[in-house]
């Protein structure tokens, strides 16, 4: 950064200096546009010779041709462009050729352009064409076709073509055998029959690229003789100049043309050092050294070799000398100086030979006696002219020419003498910078003549310099090691003998930007995420300007183009998702506040599985091995650990197999084993710690092996039991890769072992398509007899190795024997699911087994309503028998002895259905069949724990309750006596996972009334937290215990104000009444309580909050008193909604009226008679009304029951309000309490509330409609006296 700043500062200084000079009041002329040293022209085109100069006053122009003044006005073909000296020659002629030079003159001197040679372009024709030249060389001999090109300016291009009559010419393609020398001749290293080109003509063509003109040389025909070409040694046919002279900065070309058969290979060497930068053309026959330098001087050799010249080859040496045109070592420069100052001009040039230096003043050679003398002009040697104590008359133009035999260089500069007071080119500007800079330049550009004296002042104190401050040439102040104390007011001052100037500016210095947290280098695997974090701070006043961005490998990241790279706007971190190896690199955090910039860099290394190897090829295929070679792919930043080779064959081209051989990382070739009679293709994979690469492309070339007899026989030869009297021989087919030849088949020989029979003739089995197993089906007519089997592979080249004999059996039949004595073991305690049975042992060797006896099978089933359910089976293996014992006798080995003989078998069945009638029996089994059943017995299993409840759903959810519904278990396994409910809070952790809180029971748990078993239940889980997710578990419970759980999850709602409830008053007595409420259907609330007070009083009394029922009995009331009541829906203290007010009058007399009523015995007697008559009338009315009806509605009325339909599918309404005319009454008393009309269609309420006599200890209602009875074995049946219905638990 410091070097860059210094470079910019120097450029600004130079620009300011040039700007100062360009604004001069007077100056000598200076050439700014001129021509080239040599310029061709065509007579039909106009010629433009450029010349333009700058000066004050503007210069006048004069042209010279061959050092004679060109009278432009006398030739109408010549004009000069207005405002400059550019010469235009229209319709140029041959006489216009010559050296042209332009002079630009004003009152302060004369400036000259370089001399331009104007030359007419031309291309001569070939001399008169000779007759067709025919060449008849022998095949294998060399040949030269000559070409003498005509004169051309500019230099022409020479090439050879082949021409056929009526066809366009085709250029001859040059190579090591056919090549053109620098003179244009075409050489053949040796001639072959193809050079005849079917009689085509060889023609030398010359082209002038400036004129775009082509001339054609003489025709030649090649007619080779001879029929064969013999080999020949290398010889030199032609070389370029061996003592080569090259010019510095230009290209040097050396060439060798060799003969010989085969075509020689050409190589170049430098004898005395390292070859310089170079290139070859023409199949290495031509060496080109571009931009030749003095150090390239030396000896070079071309070497030709072929099979006949293999040792040292044929060599040709070249001596290269490098000289140079003149070039500037120190070129003169324009000088602008004030009066009384000095000026120096230096002109120094290099070249070989050394150039001569000539000075000119205003175009006149300095040695010319006609040049006016000047005592203040001093020449020091040939390279320097000095002017001292300048005056205004010393303004002039000075030229320097350096020339040698190879060319010249020319400089035209001026000396300008000025006189002016100081003035500002650039004044100091107010600026704001950052502390910590190595240096800061406060720009101040001054001009004046003589050169002004410049000084700086900071806050009224003169700056004295030292190592803190530097005042530069044009006035700029450089402040070193910037600190906050460098802030202040700076003044730039300048003075010379013509006046004084001053300019000021304020400098503000801020604290620098600093990186607090630098990104950390990391290594990740491909596909993962990389994140770089960077934080920075800066001066408090610049925090709003602080920006952080990122570079990758020095370039700012384009987040639109780099779709997987994201920058977080909040913390400025950069994230690369799904990293790939191309993401590897340097990531730089760039923090800036606009005043200074700081950077911090971290490296990202992305590791990935390797790229696939390339260039896989088969280098050798012989016998049963193949050599494979490949080139490694990229290791993707993780070293390659090894390689694996895959192969496929023409048998299954789409299936690739992995070769077992492990190849080390250092090897890129291996030998693998292959099988006969197949065609193999290979591919290779690379492996590193990250993984295995994708497979390479298929190998170049294949390995085709010769056929041979099979190397092995099929595996897994065995017999399978398909049917009695059948011998099914089965084996695993051999893959095609193991066939080793065509006409593959299997030869099968079998022999019965128990009757001394001879082996049967071989059976031939050809391979079947698309099968996993092959078999041979033989009808042997006997059940379960032993056979020896031989299966051998065969192909067109012969048989496989002798096969290993295998023992097998013909098919088994059904056993003809049943066990006896099957019974329940009374000594073993029977449980709900487990019992032990015993029976008499069956001889496993009995012929009636019809196979190999494997043991017994106990079959049992549940009896339901006299019908036998699906049977289950328990296999009881025969103890002590092993599978191999079946073949031991026929293999000549010893069978296992097993356990001692017993007479009784026993087995425990451990998955009996609980609480059931169970029937069971036992059978004998062989490997395929089971025999006839034994005697059957029936047992009764005791009660067990139930299965899981079914159809568990959430009916409704509030802010602190969840309503549930479920059906009883499909497998009650006894009498259901209740349900246990538990719940857990589902807690989401910080990492997004769910965990469970402590498991809590619902209190109290649900207990059913005796002799009830409702099909469905509903219950409310209350007292929950709002907006909380819960997992709720429900277990059915028998007298044995709780069964398998079922669970469901639900989330409580946000607390909200519940809707307004309604209610009814029933069962008004002397001191008690029943209140039943109807919650709002959409916002029911989680709990309810009743407010009541004596009519006219201010104080309300409250019942407890009820969450699991919709009624309450209010007790301890006063007889004969009128009460006001309200029901409040409750979702917590902040969310309550009250109903309207209703009144009810208690039975009996109040304390106020009782004293009046007791005034006389007559009044008491009269009241008693009235009450007795009223009671008789009520009883009669009720009896008549209930005739033939079940008292459902009566019981409902006792507790204020009402009907609620099931929720519709589109939602889960928590409650449905019933229709009850009594709810519309605003006042009630003992005489005015109206019961709803009873109906057979009335059902149980949504949550099952009823009168207190029908609730158990937890307040849950036990349905009594449609209850199912249980017999003593748990069989279910419907009570004929009860209609089918379900009831609800709350």
Indicate the range of 361-370, 411-420, 712-721, 1152-1161 predicted with least confidence. Answer: 1152-1161
- H helices of 841-921, where? 885-891
Nearest to 681 by CA among 642, 630, 645: 645
pLDDT value for 429: 95
pLDDT value for 392: 85
Q: Say whether pLDDT at 1135 is over 60.
A: yes
pLDDT value for 1091: 92
Q: What confidence tier does 772 reach under pLDDT thresholds 50, 70, 90?
A: low
- H helices of 1075-1226, where? 1151-1157, 1161-1186, 1192-1198
Q: What confidence tier does 1051 reach under pLDDT thresholds 50, 70, 90?
A: very high
Q: What confidence tier does 1247 reach under pLDDT thresholds 50, 70, 90?
A: very low
Q: What confidence tier does 419 reach under pLDDT thresholds 50, 70, 90?
A: confident
Backbone angles phi, psi at 1148, to 5 degrees: 85, 180
Greater pLDDT, 1229 or 310: 310
Indicate the range of 8-17, 238-247, 553-562, 600-609 predicted with least confidence. Answer: 8-17
The C-alpha atoms of residue 92 and residue 78 are separated, in whole angstroms, by 9
Q: What confidence tier does 1079 reach under pLDDT thresholds 50, 70, 90?
A: confident
Q: Say whether pLDDT at 896 is over 80.
A: no
Q: What confidence tier does 1226 reach under pLDDT thresholds 50, 70, 90?
A: very low
The C-alpha atoms of residue 127 and residue 123 are separated, in whole angstroms, by 12
Nearest to 289 by CA among 250, 333, 324, 327: 250
The DSSP 8-state label assigned to residue 1219 in this structure reads: -
Tens digits of per-residue pLDDT, 29-60? 999 999 999 999 998 899 999 999 999 899 99
Tens digits of per-residue pLDDT, 1012-1033? 778 888 888 888 888 999 999 9
| DSSP element (H, E) containing 455 | strand 453-458
Tens digits of per-residue pLDDT, 680-709? 999 999 999 999 999 999 999 999 999 999
- H helices of 114-249, where? none
Q: What is the mean pLDDT of residues 877-902?
A: 66
Tens digits of per-residue pLDDT, 56-95? 899 999 999 999 999 988 888 999 999 899 999 999 999 9
Mean pLDDT of all residues belonging to the chain:
85
Convert 368-407 to b/e letters by CB count within 10 Å (16 or more is b): eeeeeeeeebeeeeebbbebeebeeebbbbbbbbbbbebe
Q: Say whether pLDDT at 1219 is over 60.
A: no
844: left (phi over 0), alpha (psi -120 to 50) or beta: alpha
Q: What is the mean pLDDT of residues 754-773?
A: 73
Tens digits of per-residue pLDDT, 602-658? 999 999 999 999 999 999 999 899 999 999 999 999 999 999 999 999 888 999 999
Query: Which of 309-313, 454-458, 1199-1203, 1242-1246 shows the highest mean pLDDT?
Result: 454-458
Long-range contacts of 244-247 (CB under 8 A, 24+ apart): 244/318, 244/319, 244/320, 244/321, 245/321, 245/322, 245/323, 246/289, 246/292, 246/296, 246/320, 246/321, 246/322, 246/323, 247/292, 247/322, 247/323, 247/324, 247/325, 247/406
Tens digits of per-residue pLDDT, 89-121? 999 999 999 999 999 999 999 999 999 999 999
In sequence order, the 6+-apart residues with CB closer than 8 A to the CB of 377 are: 385, 386, 387
Q: What is the pTM of this model?
A: 0.43
Nearest to 175 by CA among 279, 258, 275, 268: 258
Other Cβ atoms within 10 Å of 785 Cβ, number: 18
Tens digits of per-residue pLDDT, 189-240? 999 999 999 889 999 999 999 999 999 998 999 999 988 888 889 999 999 9
The C-alpha atoms of residue 1290 and residue 1288 are separated, in whole angstroms, by 7
Q: Say whether pLDDT at 1132 is over 50.
A: yes
Q: What confidence tier does 556 reach under pLDDT thresholds 50, 70, 90?
A: very high
Backbone angles phi, psi at 1174, to 5 degrees: -60, -40
Q: Say whether pLDDT at 332 is over 90.
A: yes
Q: Say whether pLDDT at 1093 is over 90.
A: yes
pLDDT value for 1054: 85
pLDDT value for 1205: 35
Q: What is the mean pLDDT of residues 1137-1150?
A: 88
Nearest to 278 by CA among 266, 267, 286, 287: 287
Q: What is the mean pLDDT of residues 914-921?
A: 94
Indicate the range of 830-839, 1031-1040, 1182-1191 predicted with least confidence. Answer: 1182-1191
The C-alpha atoms of residue 178 and residue 194 are separated, in whole angstroms, by 12
pLDDT value for 1258: 38
Other Cβ atoms within 10 Å of 411 Cβ, number: 18
| DSSP element (H, E) containing 10 | helix 2-22
* 951, 967 contact by CB (below 8 A): yes
Q: Within 13 Å and on the Cβ side, how many CA atoms surround 1226?
A: 2
Q: What confidence tier does 1278 reach under pLDDT thresholds 50, 70, 90?
A: very low
Q: What confidence tier does 768 reach under pLDDT thresholds 50, 70, 90?
A: low
pLDDT value for 135: 93
Q: What confidence tier does 310 reach under pLDDT thresholds 50, 70, 90?
A: low
Greater pLDDT, 769 or 309: 309
Q: What confidence tier does 1228 reach under pLDDT thresholds 50, 70, 90?
A: very low
The C-alpha atoms of residue 121 and residue 239 are separated, in whole angstroms, by 31
The beta strand positions in 691-769, using DSSP E, are 703-704, 715-720, 726-732, 745-752, 763-766
pLDDT value for 1209: 35
Q: What is the mean pLDDT of residues 732-741?
A: 90
pLDDT value for 892: 62
Nearest to 184 by CA among 255, 236, 118, 119: 255
Three-state SS at 326: strand
Strand pairing report for 201-208 and 157-163: antiparallel
pLDDT value for 1195: 37
* 968, 1013 contact by CB (below 8 A): yes
* 1048, 950 contact by CB (below 8 A): no
């Amino acid at each position: 950064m410091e070097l860059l700043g210094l470079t910019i500062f120097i450029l600004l200084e130079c620009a300011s200096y040039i700007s100062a000079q360009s604004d001069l009041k007077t100056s000598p002329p200076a050439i700014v546009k001129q021509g080239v040293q040599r310029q061709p022209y065509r007579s039909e085109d106009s010629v433009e010779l450029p010349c333009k100069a700058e000066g004050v006053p503007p210069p006048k122009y004069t042209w010279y041709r061959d050092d004679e003044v060109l009278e432009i006005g006398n030739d109408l073909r010549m004009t000069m462009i207005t405002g400059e000296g550019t010469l235009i020659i229209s319709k140029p002629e041959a006489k216009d050729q010559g050296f042209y030079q332009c002079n630009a003159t004003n009152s302060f001197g004369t400036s000259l352009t370089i001399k331009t040679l104007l030359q007419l372009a031309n291309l001569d024709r070939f001399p008169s064409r000779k007759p067709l030249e025919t060449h008849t060389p022998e095949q294998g001999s060399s040949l030269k076709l000559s070409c003498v090109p005509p004169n051309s300016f500019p230099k022409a291009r020479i090439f050879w073509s082949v021409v056929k009559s009526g066809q366009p010419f085709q250029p001859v393609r040059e190579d090591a055998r056919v090549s053109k020398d620098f003179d244009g001749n075409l050489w053949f290293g040796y001639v072959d029959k193809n050079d005849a080109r079917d009689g085509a003509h060889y023609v030398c063509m010359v082209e002038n690229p400036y004129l775009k003109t082509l001339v054609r040389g003489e025709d030649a025909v090649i007619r080779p003789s001879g029929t064969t070409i013999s080999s020949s040694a290398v010889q030199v046919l032609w070389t370029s100049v061996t003592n080569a002279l090259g010019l510095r900065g230009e290209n040097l070309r050396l060439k060798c043309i060799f003969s010989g058969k085969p075509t020689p290979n050409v190589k170049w060497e430098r004898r005395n050092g390292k070859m310089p930068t170079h290139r070859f053309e023409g199949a290495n026959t031509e060496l080109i050294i571009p931009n030749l330098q003095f150090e390239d001087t030396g000896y070079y050799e071309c070497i030709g070799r072929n099979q006949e010249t293999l040792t040292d080859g044929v060599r040709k040496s070249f001596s290269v000398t490098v000289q140079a045109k003149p070039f500037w070592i120190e070129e003169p420069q324009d000088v602008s100086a004030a009066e009384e100052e000095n000026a120096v001009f230096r002109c120094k040039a290099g070249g070989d030979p050394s150039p001569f230096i000539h000075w000119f003043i205003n175009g006149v050679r300095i040695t010319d006696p006609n040049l006016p003398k000047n005592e203040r002009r001093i020449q020091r040697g040939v390279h320097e002219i000095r002017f001292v104590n300048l005056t205004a008359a010393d303004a002039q133009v000075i030229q320097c020419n350096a020339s040698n035999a190879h060319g010249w260089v020319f400089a035209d500069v001026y000396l300008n003498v000025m006189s002016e007071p100081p003035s500002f080119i650039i004044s100091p500007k107010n600026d704001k910078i950052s502390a910590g800079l190595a240096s800061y330049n406060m720009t101040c550009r001054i001009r004046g003549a003589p050169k002004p004296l410049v000084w700086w002042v900071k806050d009224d104190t003169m700056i004295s310099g030292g190592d803190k401050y530097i005042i530069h040439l044009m006035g700029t102040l450089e402040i070193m090691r910037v600190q906050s104390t460098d802030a202040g007011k700076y003044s730039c001052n300048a003075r010379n003998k013509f006046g004084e100037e001053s300019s000021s500016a304020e400098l503000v210095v801020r604290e620098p930007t600093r990186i607090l947290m630098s990104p950390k280098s990391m290594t990740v695997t491909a596909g993962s995420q990389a994140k770089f974090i960077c934080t920075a701070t800066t001066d408090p006043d610049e925090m709003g300007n602080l920006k952080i961005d990122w570079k990758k490998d020095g370039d700012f990241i384009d987040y639109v183009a780099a779709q997987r790279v994201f920058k977080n706007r909040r913390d400025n971190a950069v994230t690369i998702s799904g990293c790939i190896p191309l993401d590897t690199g340097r990531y730089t955090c760039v923090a800036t506040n606009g005043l200074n910039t700081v950077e911090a860099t971290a490296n990202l290394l992305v590791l990935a599985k390797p790229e696939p190897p390339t260039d896989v090829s088969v280098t050798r295929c012989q016998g049963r091995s193949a050599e494979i070679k490949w080139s490694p792919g990229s290791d993707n930043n993780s070293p390659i650990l090894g390689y694996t080779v895959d192969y496929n064959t023409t048998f299954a081209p789409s299936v690739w197999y992995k070769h077992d051989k492990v190849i080390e990382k250092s090897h890129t070739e291996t030998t693998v084993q292959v099988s006969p009679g197949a065609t193999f293709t290979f591919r290779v994979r690379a492996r590193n710690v990250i993984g295995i690469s994708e497979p390479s492309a298929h190998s170049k070339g294949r390995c085709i092996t010769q056929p041979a007899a099979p190397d092995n026989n099929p595996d897994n030869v065995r017999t399978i039991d398909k049917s009695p009297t059948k011998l099914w021989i089965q084996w695993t087919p051999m893959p095609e890769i193991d066939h080793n030849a065509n006409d593959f088949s299997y030869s099968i020989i079998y022999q019965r072992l128990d009757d001394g029979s001879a082996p049967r003739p071989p059976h031939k089995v050809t391979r079947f398509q698309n099968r996993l197993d092959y078999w041979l089906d033989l009808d042997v007519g006997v059940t379960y007899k032993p056979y020896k089997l031989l299966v051998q592979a065969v192909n067109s080249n012969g048989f496989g190795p002798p096969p290993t004999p295998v023992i097998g059996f013909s098919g088994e039949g059904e056993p003809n024997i049943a066990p006896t004595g099957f019974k329940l073991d009374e000594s073993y305690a029977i449980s709900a699911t487990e019992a032990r049975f015993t029976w008499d042992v069956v001889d496993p060797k009995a012929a009636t087994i019809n196979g190999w006896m494997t043991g017994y099978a106990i079959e049992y089933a549940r009896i339901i309503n006299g019908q036998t359910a699906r049977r289950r089976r328990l296999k009881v293996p025969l103890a002590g028998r092993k599978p191999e014992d079946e073949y031991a006798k026929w293999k000549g080995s010893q069978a296992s002895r097993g356990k001692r003989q017993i007479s009784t078998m026993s087995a425990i069945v451990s998955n009996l259905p609980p609480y059931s009638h169970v029937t069971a029996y036992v059978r004998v089994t062989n490997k395929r069949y089971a025999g006839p059943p034994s005697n059957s017995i029936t047992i009764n299993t005791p009660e067990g724990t139930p299965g899981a409840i079914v159809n568990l759903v959430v009916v409704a959810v509030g802010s602190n309750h969840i309503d549930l519904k479920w059906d009883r278990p499909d497998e009650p396994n006894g009498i259901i006596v209740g349900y246990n409910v538990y719940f857990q809070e589902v807690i989401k952790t910080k990492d997004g996972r769910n965990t469970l809180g402590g498991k809590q029971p619902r209190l109290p748990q649900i207990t059913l009334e005796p002799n009830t078993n409702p099909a469905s239940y509903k219950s409310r889980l209350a007292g929950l937290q709002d907006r909380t997710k819960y997992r709720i578990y429900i277990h059915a419970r028998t007298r044995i215990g709780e069964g398998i759980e079922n669970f469901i999850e639900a989330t409580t709602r946000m607390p909200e104000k519940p809707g307004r409830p309604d209610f009814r008053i029933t069962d008004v007595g002397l001191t008690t009444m029943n209140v039943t409420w109807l919650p709002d259907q959409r916002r029911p609330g989680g709990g309810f309580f009743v407010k009541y007070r004596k009519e006219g009083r201010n104080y309300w009394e409250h019942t407890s909050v009820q969450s699991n029922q919709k009624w309450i009995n209010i007790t301890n009331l006063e007889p004969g008193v009128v009460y006001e009541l309200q029901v409040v829906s409750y979702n917590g203290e902040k969310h309550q909604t009250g109903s309207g007010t209703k009144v009810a009058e208690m039975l009996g007399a109040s304390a106020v009226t009782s004293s009046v009523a007791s005034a006389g015995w007559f009044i008491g007697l009269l009241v008693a008679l009235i009450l007795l008559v009223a009671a008789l009338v009520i009883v009669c009315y009720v009896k008549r009304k209930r005739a033939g009806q079940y008292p459902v509605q009566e019981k409902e009325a006792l507790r204020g029951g009402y009907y609620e339909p099931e929720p519709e599918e589109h939602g889960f309404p928590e409650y449905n309000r019933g229709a009850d005319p009594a709810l519309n009454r605003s006042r009630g008393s003992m005489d005015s309490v109206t019961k709803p009309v009873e109906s057979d269609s009335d059902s149980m309420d949504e949550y099952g509330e009823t009168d207190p006599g029908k609730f158990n200890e937890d307040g849950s209602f036990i349905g009594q409609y449609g209850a199912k009875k249980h017999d003593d074995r748990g069989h279910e049946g419907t009570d004929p006296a009860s209609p089918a219905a379900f009831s609800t638990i709350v």
